[in-house]
Amino acid sequence: MTEEVFRDDAYAARCEAVVVGVDGANVYLDRTVLYPTGGGQPGDRGRLVLADGDVLEVADTLKGPHGVAHRLADGQSAPAPGTRLTAEVDWPRRYQLMRMHSAMHLLCKAVDCPVTGGQVGEAKSRLDFDAGETRLDKEAIAARLAEWVALDRPIRHLWIDADELQSRPELVRTMSVRPPTTGGRLRLVEIEGLDLQACGGTHVRSTGEIGALTVGKIENKGRQNRRVNIALAE
């Protein structure tokens, strides 16, 4: 399986790697900085740079049967297994996704209702809540998000045993349906003093990096389901 450099270091924009398998347009590497679609966060785009300077465009990154699958854009031939190359993520896009994904944790905290679904995007993101009888107030949500961004709270990763999670089900509640485990361990994301939950996505280092957010209209999606849309303001 692929060594997932982005799990411990979301800020790694490139890494040296070796091609370990090819399946059609999907290239498998021994290690990668590209995040595969999962937990509501879209897969990365990027490039594979060969030793002779040739560049292969990665159109999408997915979880495949042999690890992280780098799907090449149409019309490119995959490098042979054993090829050494540099994997590079489309950093401006990924950084926006990291800010957005981190903002979703704050949104989840700002709305004290069970989450029923969500999608992170580079331009805008959304979470769906089972609001019951609670009326969601757009202005109040926006004010809470702004306050927590201004606090610039650190965002850290912690690891626990998968077994321990069984006794703390409250840690699984939002972004990912089933958080990834690595060697029987499971990653938690802590926003100091605000939020702690299991999550395998990519996050910024502090809430200040998220920057200003706008809260869009709150949509009715079913009798009790409410969709909250947010976007990066800059």
- Spell out, one character per residue from 151 to 180, where the chain touches Zn ion: x when CB under 5 A holds, - when not: ------------------------x-----
CA dist 38 and 29 (Å) reads 18
Q: Is 218 in the site for Zn ion (CB under 5 A)?
A: no
How many residues does this entry show for the chain?
234
* Minimum gap (Å) between residue 185 Cβ and Zn ion: 16
Number of residues that bind Zn ion (CB under 5 A): 4
- Rg of the chain over CA atoms, in angstroms? 19
Q: Is 201 in the site for Zn ion (CB under 5 A)?
A: yes
In the chain, DSSP finds a helix count (H) and a strand count (E) of 4, 16
Give the interface segment with Zn ion, choosing from 77-85, 91-99, 138-146, 192-200 (CB under 5 A). 192-200
Give the interface segment with Zn ion, choosing from 8-16, 115-123, 191-199, 213-221 (CB under 5 A). 191-199
Q: Which is nearer to Zn ion, 32 or 125 (CB)?
A: 125
Q: Which is nearer to Zn ion, 27 or 189 (CB)?
A: 189
Q: Which is nearer to Zn ion, 2 or 125 (CB)?
A: 125
* Minimum gap (Å) between residue 35 Cβ and Zn ion: 11
* Minimum gap (Å) between residue 109 Cβ and Zn ion: 12
The separation between the first and the last C-alpha atoms of the chain, rounded to the nearest angstrom, is 37
What residues have CB less than 8 Å from 77, skipping those under 6 apart?
Answer: none
* Minimum gap (Å) between residue 205 Cβ and Zn ion: 13
Handedness of CA 172, 41, 12, 83 (dihedral sign): positive
* Minimum gap (Å) between residue 105 Cβ and Zn ion: 6
DSSP H helical segments within the chain, as ranges? 5-8, 91-110, 138-151, 162-166
CA dist 103 and 115 (Å) reads 15
Strands 3-4 and 31-32: parallel
**Under a CB-based contact definition with an 8 Å cutoff, are residues 62 and 71 in contact?**
yes
Q: Is 199 in the site for Zn ion (CB under 5 A)?
A: yes
Q: Which is nearer to Zn ion, 56 or 189 (CB)?
A: 189
Interface with Zn ion by CB under 5 A: which residues?
175, 189, 199, 201
